[in-house]
């Protein structure tokens, strides 16, 4: 009983969640999307990459975030 009380009191108040390391392919895909977004910023007149640069960076970040929060992704 004392251990349970000690464990609950040692936690600080707030929102807690467990993170995981993302899978290698998730990191690689995320880095590729970031690289395409940077190329779109450097070359803004590229046909597709220049227009979608911001969205590619956002999707790459969200993919990496999902890989950290979901187990096995």
Collect all residues with Cβ–Cβ distance below 8 Å to 49 and sequence separation of at least 6: 36, 37, 39, 40, 43, 56
Which comes out higher in pLDDT, residue 69 or 44? Answer: 69
pLDDT at 57: 93
5-62, pLDDT tens digit by residue?
555 555 567 777 788 888 899 999 999 999 999 988 888 887 888 888 889 999 999 9
Give the ranges where 1-73 is alpha helix by DSSP (H). 2-10, 24-42, 53-69
45-61, pLDDT tens digit by residue?
878 888 888 899 999 99
Distance (Å, whole) CA 19 – CA 27: 15
Q: Domain residue spans in the chain?
A: 20-73
What's this model's pTM, rounded to 2 decimal places? Answer: 0.71
Residue among 53, 27, 51, 28 nearest 39 (CA): 53
pLDDT at 60: 94
């Amino acid at each position: 009983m004392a251990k349970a009380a000690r464990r609950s009191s040692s936690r600080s108040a707030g929102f807690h969640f467990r993170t995981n390391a993302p899978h290698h392919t998730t990191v690689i895909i995320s880095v590729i999307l970031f690289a395409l977004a940077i190329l779109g910023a450097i070359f803004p007149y590229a046909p597709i990459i220049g227009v979608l640069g911001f969205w590619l960076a956002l999707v790459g970040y969200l993919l990496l975030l999902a890989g950290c929060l979901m187990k096995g992704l």
